[in-house]
Structure 1
Amino acid sequence: MSIPPPPGPHQPQGSPEQAQGPSAHGQYAPPSPYGYGPPGAPGPYGYHPYRPYGRPVPVNGVAIGALVLGILCFVPAVGLVLGLIALVQIKKKGERGKGMAVAGSILSSVGLVLWALALSTGGASDFWDGFRDAASGEGTAYALAKGDCFDSPTGNLEGDAYDVDAVSCSAPHDGEVFAVVTLPGGDYPGDDEVSRTADDKCYALQDGYAMDTWAVPEDVDVYYFIPSRQSWRFGDREITCLFGSTEEKGKLTGSLRSDPTTLDVDQSIFLSVTNAVDTALYEEPEDYPEEDLAANQAWAKDVHAVLGEQIEALRGHSWQPDAKQPVTDLIEEMEAARREWAKAAAAKDADTYYTHYDKGYEYVDGPTTVTARKALGLDTTVPTYEDDSDSGGESGGAGGLDV
């Protein structure tokens, strides 16, 4: 195996093939950096200084910028200028990217024409107004905050939501926001998981906004806007919980808000107590006592404990004169109900359990409760209850927010 002579002016003259010899690794080495003549001069066959073996000719960066700006058309004049600069640089340096530079220049020229037309017709102003609103969240579900009322362009709260119109809560409206929940970052958890989280969060938060649940119309239910897979990529992490009508073309009138910002101290304490008891009652086991007596006994014990805590809360507050006696009467009925729940928790069979269960429920939403509510200036319309255990969150319109 021979070793080729060192490169330089001492190499033999001749054709490029003759000048090349096998390398120390058995491969044919490329020509010397200076061809076959004096250093710096082209060889007899027109060879010029070569680039390192295997390295591709680079793409002109200015050409790439021109193409990108040409496609976006936000600043077409800049894209055109960059395209022309790129063509000059490519010719001098022998770089690639001529096609991109030409395409960017053409697209930018078209963009200039379109911008000229938009400026002459006022379309550019409308575009930038819309762009600014989208960036700030105005006119989208992003802009909705707790207490806001709005109309949906489609007139309903189901399906995809691309835009909303904020309106006064005193006027008829499609929805009223009662909570905004921010999801953690990371990968999109999937439509089903986001909907499940919205169900859990929104239904748990509704009473904190509409504490006077009796004042919520029967045709009102919980809906929500949730991030879609597309909006998640743009940073959308908010679940917007809202009230809406279940009736076709139904509207809400007036705000449903009844929380410490709209209630006095007596009203807030009373509703906090009654809602806490209601929450405990809503947790009744799905299985009947005949099927699972132990589970129902455990629940009855929990109701007994909650009643004790809330009775103490009512007794510990100084009520206004008009409400003092009605609240005292209600406390007495709650004490009687508490004793019945203790007996239900200790029942030995389903029949005995039912006897005390029914007596424990007698005071709930009864005349004494209505009297106390009237004295406190709260709604006195006794609500009706339907068995919606099978519906779950289906009434909640999971409107995916696409941007």
Structure 2
Amino acid sequence: MSIPPPPGPHQPEGPYQPPSPYSPYPQGPYGPQPQGPYGPQTPYGQPPYQPWAQGYSPYNRPAAVNGLSIAALVLGILCFLPGVGLVLGLVGLAQIRKRGERGKGMAIAGCVLSGIGLALWALALVTGGAAEFWKGFEDGARDGAGISLVKGECFDAPGGSLQGETYDVDKVPCAGKHDGEVFASFELAGGGPYPGDSSVRGRADDRCYGLRDSYAMDGWAVPDDVDVYYLTPTPDSWALGDREVTCVFGNTDEKAGLTGSLRNDETVLDADQVAYLKAAHVLNAALDTAPDAEYVEDDLPGHKAWARRVAAALEKQSGMLRGHDWPTGAEKPVTALAGDVDEARTEWAKAAKAADADVFYTHYDKGFKLIDPDRTVTARKALGLATTPPPSDDTGLEV
């Protein structure tokens, strides 16, 4: 809010000097007064501040323009807050009659335009158009706040880097070389202020690694130099309502990039391939829950609980492998694989009941060899899946 300056000191007596015919604004003690589109204005929409002047003016001053009529016309033209524009126009007409001010035409025009705008808003509310408009506005604001990418799209990042901050990417066909491929996206829960980089990245890391198998079901088909990256909200975009995390596959060597799509899910694979991979994921998920302690001696109860989870997963996997109607060429190798799974389940179940670390290791080693990825190659080849096992640690086997 600004406040007009106080009147200046009186000027010396002298004859009245009419304004220059070449001056676009009437003169006052503070210099030319700006002329608005509908007459002189101030920040309050009222006639300009009139300073005290010396002498008597022989000329009749024109009546001031009513400020509310100006505001009513502006709101009517912009169709912004039409109800307010209508009220201001009606009040302005009453003030004009009472004070003898000018602006009747503007007040009437503002009332008419605001009335039309009010009718259009009412129609939009009845038909649901207002809700669609607001949703579009929110989507536009969100697109402006973050990068809009959807599952299955490929893109190039500025400088080819998938690290640090970026505010734009270039979408490109997946068939050619590119920097990243989107495999999932999700919304972070929570309102209020930005929770901090570590919190946002931690949640993004957990979810994105958990969602990768739903897009690239055959992990063996993903090159060894491909890893998971993600785009997260920034503090600025969070303030604008951005909560989206975009999960991306990218090459650990920025100069190498990716070529071709890594997607292999139900939209790409056949029913037999999907059935096999779903059974494999049951075991992989259990193997990924190994305790943090590297040695069994450091956490025997934790390792025994892990062995129970693996044994339960092997039992479920065996049922899924035996319950599917496999094609002729794959039936024999899959049945043999199911036999290995059953034997492995027995050993893992014994490890879960081990009295000490030595007994645990004995059954763990036997059970571990029975789920060696190399034992699955024959079945995978019969089903047309990738046959080169990816490198993995002792608890990250993929079958």
Q: The TM-score by the shorter chain falls in which range?
A: 0.5 to 0.7
Corresponding residue for residue 109 of structure 1: none
Residue 338 of structure 1 aligns to a residue whose secondary structure is helix
Q: Are the aligned partners of 1:180 and 1:241 in contact in 2 as well (CA < 8 Å)?
A: yes
Residue 262 of structure 2 aligns to a residue whose secondary structure is coil
Using the TM superposition, give the Cα deviation of residue 377 of structure 1 relative to its aligned residue in structure 2, in angstroms: 0.6
> What is the one-letter code of the residue matched to 2:209?
Y
Change (3 A) 1:215 1:84: farther
Does residue 169 (structure 1) correspond to residue 124 (structure 2)? The answer is no
Aligned residue among 290, 294, 303 for 2:310: 303
Residue 231 of structure 2 aligns to a residue whose secondary structure is strand
Using the TM superposition, give the Cα deviation of residue 386 of structure 1 relative to its aligned residue in structure 2, in angstroms: 4.7
Change (3 A) 1:152 1:296: same
Corresponding residue for residue 101 of structure 1: none
Output the CA distance in 2 between the equivalents of 1:202 and 1:387.
22
TM-score normalized by the length of structure 1:
0.63
Which structure is richer in relative contact order (CA contacts within 8 A, separation 6 or more)? 1
**348-357 or 151-160, which deviates more:** 348-357
Gaps of 5+ in 1: 1-55, 60-78, 96-131, 390-403
Using the TM superposition, give the Cα deviation of residue 266 of structure 1 relative to its aligned residue in structure 2, in angstroms: 0.8
Matches within 5 A, 1:119-268: 135=140, 142-187=147-192, 188-268=194-274
Change (3 A) 1:183 1:191: same
Aligned residue among 339, 358, 365 for 2:365: 358
Q: Are the aligned partners of 1:224 and 1:239 in contact in 2 as well (CA < 8 Å)?
A: yes
TM-score normalized by the length of structure 2:
0.64
Output the CA distance in 2 between the equivalents of 1:207 and 1:85.
68
Using the TM superposition, give the Cα deviation of residue 172 of structure 1 relative to its aligned residue in structure 2, in angstroms: 0.8
Output the CA distance in 2 between the equivalents of 1:333 and 1:305.
15
**1:87-111 deviation line (CA, Å, top 9, x unaligned):** 596445769xxxxxxxxxxxxxxxx
**247-256 or 304-313, which deviates more:** 247-256
Q: Are the aligned partners of 2:174 and 2:261 in contact in 1 as well (CA < 8 Å)?
A: yes
> What is the one-letter code of the residue matched to 1:228?
T
Using the TM superposition, give the Cα deviation of residue 302 of structure 1 relative to its aligned residue in structure 2, in angstroms: 1.1
Output the CA distance in 1 between the equivalents of 2:371 and 2:38.
78
Does residue 369 (structure 1) correspond to residue 387 (structure 2)? The answer is no
> What is the one-letter code of the residue matched to 2:155?
F
Using the TM superposition, give the Cα deviation of residue 306 of structure 1 relative to its aligned residue in structure 2, in angstroms: 1.0
> What is the one-letter code of the residue matched to 1:273?
A
> What is the one-letter code of the residue matched to 1:162?
Y
Corresponding residue for residue 36 of structure 1: none
Q: Are the aligned partners of 1:211 and 1:271 in contact in 2 as well (CA < 8 Å)?
A: yes
Output the CA distance in 1 between the equivalents of 2:250 and 2:373.
28
**1:217-241 deviation line (CA, Å, top 9, x unaligned):** 1111110000000011222110001
Corresponding residue for residue 319 of structure 2: 312
Does residue 271 (structure 1) correspond to residue 277 (structure 2)? The answer is yes
> What is the one-letter code of the residue matched to 1:189?
P
Matches within 5 A, 1:343-354: 343-354=350-361
Output the CA distance in 1 between the equivalents of 2:163 and 2:36.
48
Using the TM superposition, give the Cα deviation of residue 370 of structure 1 relative to its aligned residue in structure 2, in angstroms: 0.4
Using the TM superposition, give the Cα deviation of residue 363 of structure 1 relative to its aligned residue in structure 2, in angstroms: 3.0
Output the CA distance in 1 between the equivalents of 2:168 and 2:395.
31
Q: Are the aligned partners of 2:340 and 2:371 in contact in 1 as well (CA < 8 Å)?
A: no
Number of equivalenced pairs: 278
Corresponding residue for residue 41 of structure 2: 86
Q: Are the aligned partners of 2:232 and 2:244 in contact in 1 as well (CA < 8 Å)?
A: yes
Corresponding residue for residue 341 of structure 2: 334
> What is the one-letter code of the residue matched to 2:222?
V
Using the TM superposition, give the Cα deviation of residue 135 of structure 1 relative to its aligned residue in structure 2, in angstroms: 4.0
TM-align CA RMSD: 3.0
